[in-house]
Amino acid sequence: SALLDAGYYVNASVKSTNTAYFSFNYPASPSGHAFGVNLLSGMGMSMNAVFPKSVDLDGVPIYFLTRMAMGCKSATEIKNLILSVRSAYGGSLNIGSAKDGVVNIEFGPTSSGSSTKNLIVTSPPVNGSAIFHMNEYLYLHGVPFDLDPSSEHRLKAAKRINVEHPVSASDSSSLLYVLSDRSDRDYPLWRNTSGLGDSSTAATALFEFMKSGMKSGRVLLTVFEKGNPMMKSTKKVVFEL
């Protein structure tokens, strides 16, 4: 519960590095660890923590990498960034924009003494459909990782809901319907430390990428704070970025 009360926003603009971004931050961690928007390109990004079994002690810490990613203007730039350095750990980044659609990048720790990078980029979902990602590797094979029962339950629930109530990119309520679900009592999608898990959902973020009109290239970021996004009592903040 302390995390729910201590999350905060950062609106940064650094002329010397030509960097500008808006982000939601957890306490004591840099931007890029949670979710945010690059203000120069309209690229949105969120992170799923994953748990590789190994750590490359000579690599760049994961939260430094995700902070650097917030300064990138596209998924291609982020991919090239990760490939250009030695990564200490692994991560999963969801990246979207009006121009390029939505992709997921999974990467792992760089093997000690090797220049080979473990990284994969998914293709964007087609015809307004959806892809789901929790806190386990889905696409990158060959990286040993710790299993996470909560992720497996939540992914199964999201896929089931998508069959019963198909998600549409043009219908934000269909996305929130998934993110608010609590049908799995042990490991619900929206979490508040009930069931078998000990985690809480600090905030729910909805990105809307503008494709046409005067606001083309802009991002409408809606954040539901400290509550289930489908409940009227939950605080909702809208940022036009």
Distance CA(170)–CA(175), nearest Å, equals 10
For the residues of 127-161, what is the DSSP string, one character each?
TT------SS-SS-TT--B---HHHHHHHHHHHHH
- What pTM did the predictor assign? 0.91
Q: For residue 227, what pLDDT is reported?
A: 92
Section 70-99 average pLDDT: 94
In angstroms, rounded to a whole number, what is the distance separating the alpha carbons of residues 89 and 63?
A: 9
Mean pLDDT of 6-22: 92
The pLDDT, as a whole number, for residue 190 is 94
pLDDT at 87: 92
Question: For 171-195, how does the pLDDT look when each residue is reduced to its tens digit (9 = 90+)?
Answer: 999 999 999 999 999 999 999 888 8
Q: With cut-offs at 50, 70 and 90, classify the pLDDT of residue 2.
A: low
Residue with tokens 């009006």: 98
Question: Which residues are paired to 177 by β-bridges?
Answer: none
Q: Is the pLDDT of residue 113 over 60?
A: no
pLDDT of residue 115: 45
Q: Identity (one letter) of the amino acid at 229?
A: P
Specify whether the CB–CB gap between 207 and 191 falls below 8 A: no
